[in-house]
Structure 1
Amino acid sequence: MKISIERGVLLKAVGQAQSVVERRNTIPILANVLIEAEGEQISFRATDLDIEVVDRAPAQVERPGATTVSAVLLHEIVRKLPDGALVQLADDPRTGRLSVTAGRSSFALATLPREDFPVMASSEYSANFSAKAGELKRLFEKSKFAISTEETRYYLNGVYMHVAEGEEGRALRCVATDGHRLARVDTALPAGAEEMAGVIVPRKTVNELRKLLDDDDMDIAVSVSETKLRFATPDITLTSKVIDGTFPDYTRVIPAGNTKRLEVDASEFARAVDRVATVSSEKSRAVKLVLEEDRLVLSVNAPDAGAAEEELVVAYGDERLEIGFNAKYLLEIASQVDRENAVFMFNASGDPALVREGNDTSAVYVVMPMRV
């Protein structure tokens, strides 16, 4: 194999692939990226056996071929090469080395046989559809903060993507929860997704997916089966196993009878929560909300450090209410609100609160209260 490729193009392609590779693994080949050159393009394939990413880029292929080399090492070398450099990659079967040359810089990297590289088995996908990158990004970005990190509840370690009945007909829905907060985000159901099986997309896959969704107007081809799912652009294909488990019935925890309505400027609210929470060093910092007519008082009382209080002018017309929440959870939910105002719906001090963006019900959040 011998190819020439522009440094920026190579860096982007290798960067996507190397991020999938697990830094610590006991199988040497899994630390490598499979480089395949043929025709007028080169592809980089990396896997951790649960996720596989293939990134394709245009290149001048003088001699087709394939080899595997350390993904992290290759990425580090390319990252440190000067902008605009023309990089040559050439493997030498006699020495078992891949030479990387750019200008006066040259490197010789150890390789492993391409035959040893595991390729994820192809799957029969039961649903195939296309969605705009911007819509998929919104679904996953707005829900992923609520993914559980508790490994024993593995079925909550991802985003549940499924078809559901939304406010305006059937919708493609993403839900995540850790038992303390919940995010439910809908978008219009794409053609072809009607028969899609509900799947739990792992946290790592959700994070890797962000890199495919840069261009909001790009069409992303999505394929789903009961065990795998695939997202593809013309240049990148991301294939992932799904979490083998049953997502709980989240609809039971979304309150339907909350009538006390608070409307507040989302960014102003977030800044106030952040300020009053400063006096507490506890991870589960509880912020107390006292609601009266058109007035919200936020307070934190940390016996060891001190106390803080801030008052906000809000739209609220119901009876007085005192309720406490984890400061971190309030900040995370407030940061999801793209519109100017966040709407909180309360019932009583011991009941979960429902949060949405203005009157938009396509994104709904639930947060459990704390005793304060």
Structure 2
Amino acid sequence: MEFRIDSAVLTDAVGWAARVLPARSSVPALGGLLLEARDDRLRVSGLDHEASARVDVAADVAREGRALVLGRRLLEICRVLPRGSVECAVEGARLSVDGGGARFGLSLLPLDDYPASPALPAFRGLVEAGAFAGAVGQVAVAAGRDDALPVLTGIRLALDGTTMTLAATDRYRYAVRTLEWRPEGGAPEGGAAGVTDVVVPARRLTEIARSLTASGPVRLAMDGGSIGFEQDGVRATTRLLDGRLPRHAKLFALGKHAVATTGLEPLTEAVKRVAVVAEGDSPVRLGFTAGTVRLQAGHEDDIASQCLPATLEGAESQTVAFNPAYLLDALGSFHTDTVSFRLLGPGQRALLTAGSGTSHRHLLMSVRAPLD
């Protein structure tokens, strides 16, 4: 095998495929990346027991072939390569990487020990890359980090007709985002006719979403145990999580409530400012009136406060308090000029939306602050 390729292109391809490599494995070959050169293309593939990644990039192939090398070592080499053209070739039992006067050699791993890459599941439809990546980012902040509750570390992906719903929760917050998608080849499998409802590992889905180009369609593939995505030579699969997330319909049905609205950017900056005195689990309190929201944090002599313009409908005043980190995560997931709080009262849940919009909603549990 022998090929020439731009160092930046090689680094990006290796970096993408190496994301799925296991930190530790009883199978040494799983620490490798498979390089395949043919037809003026280089394919870089990586996999573990849960996920796979594959990317095809342009290369000047002088001799076709395949090679398996330690993935993370190859990535380290790529990151320090001089800019410009790189020549890679199999020489005996090693892969040589030569560019800009620098030369590296990597031992080859046995190809016979490398498992076959999983097949991509059946295609289900298309979704726009930019919208999908943005939606994943908006809900991923609410996914759990506790591996003792695996299903809560995932993102729910539900397909119903032409609507895709993404949702995540760690029991203290719940983010939901809907967007359009285009079914392909009839109704998806699962549940009622035309409905699919699965849970995808949030970390894997976030990595995939970040790798997508800003525009163009992404092909979505799915079966009973895995999900796959493909766009412009990039392909990734990951296993689904067992179980289901708690349903959000009842939580988001607030009944009679007040609505407070204020500027998103000023509120975000104010939360960051007053939160510097919020130690440990100390919350930030928001007191809304008809024309103002007053933020306050801390206790005794270590306190901070700030007032901002706001509107309030449905009540004369409302006070809520949130974990400042959770509140900042929620605010950071919106990309509008204003944010609205649908409020039930102190110690009760509050629903954040982008003004009157409903495509992205973020539920936060309010706590009773010591200042109440």
Q: Bin the TM-score by the shorter chain.
A: over 0.9
Q: Are residue 261 (structure 1) and residue 259 (structure 2) matched? A: yes
Q: SS at the partner of 1:314? A: strand
CA distance in structure 1 between the partners assigned to 2:155 and 2:356 by the alignment: 24
1:72 partner amino acid: R
1:258 Cα shift?
A: 4.4
Which residue number in structure 1 is paired with residue 6 of structure 2?
6
Structure 2 residue aligned with 1:158: 154
Measure the CA separation in 2 of the matches of 1:29 and 1:345. Answer: 53
1:248 Cα deviation (Å)?
A: 2.1
1:35 aligns with 2:35: yes
Q: In the alignment, is the contact (CA less than 8 A) between 1:255 and 1:353 conserved in 2? A: no
Match for residue 168 of structure 2 among 176, 179, 188: 176
| Residue 220 (structure 1) aligned with residue 213 (structure 2) | no
The residue matched to 2:149 in structure 1 has which SS? helix
**8 Å contact from structure 1 (residues 20, 208) kept in 2:** no
8 Å Cα contact 1:228/1:241 also seen in 2: yes
Kindly indicate whether the alpha-carbon contact (under 8 Å) linking 1:162 and 1:199 is maintained by their aligned counterparts in 2. yes
Distance 1:124 1:109 in 2: 34
- Which residue number corresponds to residue 229 of structure 1? 227
Note the C-alpha offset of 1:163. Answer: 2.2
Shift of 1:112: 0.6
Q: 1:20 matched to which residue of 2?
A: 20
Secondary structure of the 1:290 match is strand
- 1:293-329 Cα shifts (integer Å, max 9, x gaps): 21111111245x7111111111114222222111111
Partner residue of 1:188 out of 180, 192, 196? 180
- SS of 1:112 mapped into structure 2: coil
Counterpart residue type for residue 5 of structure 2: I
AA at the equivalent of 2:136: F
Cα distance in structure 1, aligned partners of 2:115 and 2:243: 25
Q: Which of 126, 133, 142 is 1:146 aligned to?
A: 142
**In structure 2, C-alpha distance between the alignment counterparts of 1:42 and 1:113, rounded to whole Å:** 19
1:112 is the counterpart of 2:104: no
**Is the CA contact 1:255–1:352 (under 8 Å) kept in the aligned structure 2?**
no
RMSD: 1.8
1:368 partner letter? M
Name structure 2 gaps, 5 residues minimum.
190-195
Q: 1:72 maps to which residue?
A: 72
One-letter identity of the residue aligned with 2:167: V
Cα distance, 1:207 vs structure 2: 2.4
Report the identity percentage.
Answer: 25
| Matches of 2:271 and 2:207, distance apart in 1 | 31
Q: TM-score normalised to the size of structure 1?
A: 0.92
1:131 Cα deviation from its structure 2 partner:
1.3
Match of 1:98 among 87, 95, 100: 95
Letter in 1 for 2:57: A
TM-score (norm 2): 0.92
> Residue 182 of structure 2 aligns to a residue in which SS?
coil
State the partner residue of 2:118: 121
Deviation of 1:253 (Å): 1.7
Q: Once the 2 structures are TM-superposed, how far is the Cα of residue 170 of structure 1 from its aligned partner?
A: 5.3
In 2 relative to 1, CA 124–270 (structure 1 residues): closer, same or farther, beyond 3 Å?
A: closer
Are the aligned partners of 2:268 and 2:331 in contact in 1 as well (CA < 8 Å)?
A: yes
For 2:193, the equivalent position in structure 1 comes to none
For the residues of structure 2 that align with 1:327 and 1:103, how far apart are their CA atoms? 49
Superposition deviation, residue 124 in structure 1: 4.8
Say which SS state the counterpart of residue 329 (structure 2) adopts. Answer: helix
Aligned length: 361
In structure 2, the residue corresponding to 1:360 is in which secondary structure? Answer: coil
Moved more, 67-76 or 186-195: 186-195
Match in the other structure for 1:331: 328
